[in-house]
Structure 1
Amino acid sequence: MDDFKDHLATYLNNSRQAMLWKAEGLGDKELTRPMVPTGTSILGLIQHLGFVEYGYFVQCLGFSIADEHYAALEADADDSADMWVSADVPCAEVLAFYRRAIEAANRNIAALSLDAPATVPWWPGERRHTTLGRLMLHMNVETARHAGHADILRELIDGSTGMRRDNDNMPPYDDIAWNELHEKILRASESR
């Protein structure tokens, strides 16, 4: 089981790093700009992930959360407070918040076995009684999903794509090849 736990942690950390990479080199306006009708922004996704990292890997494992940024989000009456960043909150604070959440999560993940009990108060019924292993699986999916969102948002902002700085996992196309591919796909779509 230790190997499986290591695999879960490795994949989770890869997605976490992808999220942080999506924020690199962007100014405050690019980080906080809502890019789709639901108001999703890169920094909003990062703040949300920090919030749920603390929730699942600290609170649900029976530990207390001593983080002012988390407490402010938890106390906010707005159901979507964790998904966007108000103008009075520095972007650097949200990035630091996410890093703190990851550190707290990693400490608890390292200290506990996959079958360590957890309780998720916001999950319905008997499902709320679970384990660290299930929380790790859940957060792998959650973080990878939002990393995909962030990838698309970043592409809309400045054209940057991919999961990692050192290997974006994209075909080595130049602008002409990307435009040709886009046009080919557009023609196929329009011919339906």
Structure 2
Amino acid sequence: MPGMIGPVADEREALLGYLAQQRYVLCLAAYGLTDEQARSTPTVSALCLGGLIKHVAATERGWLGTVLGRPPEDGGDLRLAPGETLADVIGEYEIVATETEEIIAGIDDLGRAVPVPKGVPWFPDDVEAWSVRWVLLHLIEETARHAGHADIIRESIDGATAFPLMAAAEGWPQTPWLTPWSYRSNSVGSSS
């Protein structure tokens, strides 16, 4: 997926396209990392890249459960469990993305009401329902927020930033203004 989504035909395609783009850049922050690096917490925050991806996948699944009228779920642990790998959580996130697209494809009206679950302390008491559209916009917002966290964590691990990572992942050629990330050229403390 390139750095920007292409033209969109309608609102549904736009919402799903922007959500997919934010998922992509979140996972891109982990490109080329080992499981140990994905577990690391190199900033003052307790967040790690693997945990962020795991959390956002669980959060998206939970919100789509809310759209389907299921009880609220836990937002997922912000850590990789012992034995859990970066590939595991990215694979699970891909499954969640497919589920989301299938669920949304089956909803003919994005304005359809999504009742606000009661008894959840961070949900408003004075709102009876959101819309499916609102849920998708919220997921874009939530994923983008965590993609920003992921960028900071990744840069703290080895100095890599978003566009060089994207260039490496997508096989872009080196240009005068952009060098794709590589294992050798982008580690903190390297002499290059």
- Under a length normalisation based on structure 1, what TM-score does the superposition of the two structures give? 0.72
Identity score, percent: 28
Equivalent residue number for residue 22 of structure 2:
15
8 Å CA contact 1:56, 1:120 repeated in 2: no
Equivalent residue number for residue 115 of structure 2:
119
8 Å CA contact 1:16, 1:143 repeated in 2: yes
Q: Distance in 2 between matches of 1:52 and 1:128?
A: 21
8 Å CA contact 2:39, 2:49 repeated in 1: yes
1:86 is paired with a residue whose SS is coil
1:51 is displaced (CA, Å) by 0.6
1:30 is displaced (CA, Å) by 0.6
Equivalent residue number for residue 153 of structure 2:
153
Structure 1 segment 83-102 matched on structure 2, within 5 A: 83-102=78-97
Q: Distance in 2 between matches of 1:34 and 1:155?
A: 12
Change (3 A) 1:81 1:51: closer
Q: Size of the alignment, in residue pairs?
A: 158
1:63 is displaced (CA, Å) by 5.7
Cα shift readout 1:56-89 (whole Å, capped 9, x = no counterpart): 11x1112669xxxxx8xx4xxxxx8521122232
8 Å CA contact 1:32, 1:42 repeated in 2: yes
Letter in 2 for 1:111: G
1:128 is displaced (CA, Å) by 5.3
8 Å CA contact 2:29, 2:162 repeated in 1: no
1:120 is displaced (CA, Å) by 3.9
**Comparing both structures, which one devotes a greater share of its residues to helix?**
1
Letter in 2 for 1:143: T
Q: Distance in 1 between matches of 2:48 and 2:16?
A: 26
Q: Distance in 2 between matches of 1:35 and 1:120?
A: 37
8 Å CA contact 1:47, 1:94 repeated in 2: yes
- Under a length normalisation based on structure 2, what TM-score does the superposition of the two structures give? 0.72
Cα shift readout 1:95-119 (whole Å, capped 9, x = no counterpart): 2211111111111122212112213
Letter in 2 for 1:124: P
Letter in 2 for 1:10: G
1:172 is displaced (CA, Å) by 2.8
Equivalent residue number for residue 162 of structure 1:
162
8 Å CA contact 1:117, 1:131 repeated in 2: yes
Structure 2's unaligned 5+ residue stretches are 1-8, 180-192
Structure 1's unaligned 5+ residue stretches are 66-70, 75-79, 175-192
Equivalent residue number for residue 61 of structure 1:
67
Letter in 1 for 2:78: M
Cα shift readout 1:1-42 (whole Å, capped 9, x = no counterpart): x71222121111111111121112100111011123331011
Structure 1 segment 127-142 matched on structure 2, within 5 A: 127=127, 129-142=129-142
Letter in 2 for 1:49: V
